[in-house]
Amino acid sequence: MSDSATAARRSAIYLLDQILGEGRLLSECLNAGILDKLGPEDRARAQRLVLETLRGLERADRLLANHLKRTPALTVHNALRVGTVELCQGEAAHGVVNSMVEIVGRSRKHGRLKGLVNAVLRKVAAEGPEAWPRMRVPRLPDWLRQPLVMAWGTGAVSAMEQAHFTGAPLDVTVKPGGQSPGGETIPTGTVRLQNAGQVSALPGFKGGDWWVQDAAAAVPVRVLAPKANEVILDLCAAPGGKTLQLAAAGADVTALDVSEIRLERVRQNLVRTGLSANVITGDALDHHGQYDAILLDAPCSATGTIRRHPDLPYAKDGSEFDALFDLQTRMLDHAWTLLKPGGRLVYCTCSLLPDEGEVQIEEALERHADMQVDSDALNVPGVDPEWITAEGGLRLRPDYWTDLGGMDGFYIACLNKSV
């Protein structure tokens, strides 16, 4: 049994405890340094185990329910879940079972349950691999599934759930003239890599030739179509992929975000890529100035990113929706005051909820007489005209491009201000 494999599994179990027990997002846990003591390979393994367990959680729990009289303590349950997913995906039973028994056995609180872990996982090892592929695709929790079904219908949501379960390849945006890390260039211009491995080891990373950015997340800047020397404001800029796109186009970019911690990552990527932007920590609602163009990637439910962040449906419960809708409205109205006459603003959210996209724009058009939707701006390479919505925005969904590996869910609208 590998000590490093056991350490990665132990860390994965702890992360699941934080997500499923404390409602913390995986990104929050990683930013807190939970995996910092592990080597690069073990960090990657721990994260992979967490993501795969969350994607397959419904299946794992159904299999485990056949062998448990009652639900054990969360840590033990998560050890069983990780073990079940590994076993059903073909990991050697001996290593998985022994590792989980050791992890639980060393716990002062749960050590007495190591026999249970051994017995249950051995039964799963015998039955699970055959049963796993016959089980239904895991569904979203009801708090999220129901509003999505109302918006898009059962068939579309089922297709989204399949995309979530499949997971996401690695997408990168290559700087003009930069070295591509390989992979395939998909219709919107993003480079997509399957089974990419360790990101920092890929060709061109250290030289700053590209940055990680989902294909859908790269579309808003392509819609904004920045020009050299334009004065552009990137509101809610972190983690910075769109800032890098704007800077690479030669724009005079101000990147503003309320989180200094997240902006530090933006600064690091600017240095790595040799690009420049004015990075400011501050509240978007307090910012002042006048800009040729504005990109507002508004705070949202992030429900469009579940294929990459399967922790989200378990760390959240939808209780923040109304506050987010109100914040988006206030941010859009304030951003409009920062835009010069004749300027353009791209509003976007990585959400699947119409209240954070289509509805926001419909209502904004009623509030602002000098606001017009520019649907022609959406005619960028790779965009299907059928994705353009009634009010003139662009709706992207995880069930699009299934043959290419999908995309995040996004809403994007380009708004022009009268002269």
Of 134, 151, 176, the domain-final residue: 134
Looking at the structure, do residues 12 and 129 belong to the same domain, yes or no? yes
How many structural domains comprise the chain?
A: 2
pLDDT per position as a tens digit, 130-154: 999 999 999 999 999 999 999 999 9
Q: The pTM is what?
A: 0.94
Residue 280 has pLDDT above 60, yes or no: yes
| pLDDT value for 40 | 86
Q: What contacts 271, CB < 8 A, 6 or more positions away?
A: none
- Say how far apart CA 191 and CA 76 lie, in whole Å: 40
Please list the residues that pair with 56 across neighbouring strands: none
In a domain, 349, yes or no: yes
**Other CB atoms closer than 10 Å to residue 295's CB: what's the count?**
28
CATH number, domain containing residue 406: 3.40.50.150
Residue 415 has pLDDT above 60, yes or no: yes
In a domain, 330, yes or no: yes
Looking at the structure, do residues 379 and 288 belong to the same domain, yes or no? yes
Tell me whether residue 348 is one of the annotated catalytic residues. no
Residue 101 has pLDDT above 70, yes or no: yes
Under the banding of pLDDT at 50, 70 and 90, the label for residue 198 is confident
Comparison of pLDDT for 31 and 119, the residue scoring more? 119
Q: Is the dihedral of CA 333, 334, 335, 341 positive or negative?
A: positive
Looking at the structure, do residues 246 and 386 belong to the same domain, yes or no? yes
In a domain, 93, yes or no: yes
Select which of 29, 300, 350, 414 is catalytic. 350
Residue 379 has pLDDT above 50, yes or no: yes
Residue 220 has pLDDT above 90, yes or no: yes
Under the banding of pLDDT at 50, 70 and 90, the label for residue 31 is confident
What's the chain's average pLDDT?
A: 95
| pLDDT value for 1 | 45
- Start-to-end C-alpha separation, the chain: 70
Pairing of strands 339-349, 410-417: antiparallel
Under the banding of pLDDT at 50, 70 and 90, the label for residue 200 is confident
| Domain that includes residue 31, residue range | 3-134
Average pLDDT value for residue range 111-126? 96
Of 83, 103, 134, the domain-final residue: 134
- Let me know how long the chain is: 419
CATH number, domain containing residue 34: 1.10.940.10
Under the banding of pLDDT at 50, 70 and 90, the label for residue 2 is low
In a domain, 152, yes or no: no
| pLDDT value for 17 | 97
Token pair for residue 169? 């390849």
The answer to whether residues 278 and 231 touch, using CB atoms and an 8 Å cutoff, is no
In a domain, 170, yes or no: no
Residue with the two structure tokens 């469009």: 304
In a domain, 308, yes or no: yes
Looking at the structure, do residues 225 and 122 belong to the same domain, yes or no? no
- 376, exposed or middle or buried, with CB in 10 Å at 0-12, 13-18, 19+? exposed
pLDDT per position as a tens digit, 336-376: 999 999 999 999 999 999 999 999 999 999 999 999 999 99
Looking at the structure, do residues 229 and 366 belong to the same domain, yes or no? yes
Pairing of strands 339-349, 371-373: unpaired
Pairing of strands 252-257, 231-235: parallel
pLDDT per position as a tens digit, 226-279: 999 999 999 999 999 999 999 999 999 999 999 998 999 999 999 999 999 999
| CA-to-CA separations, 194 to 181, 200, 204, 290, in angstroms, rounded | 11, 15, 17, 42
Looking at the structure, do residues 108 and 229 belong to the same domain, yes or no? no
Average pLDDT value for residue range 32-51? 92
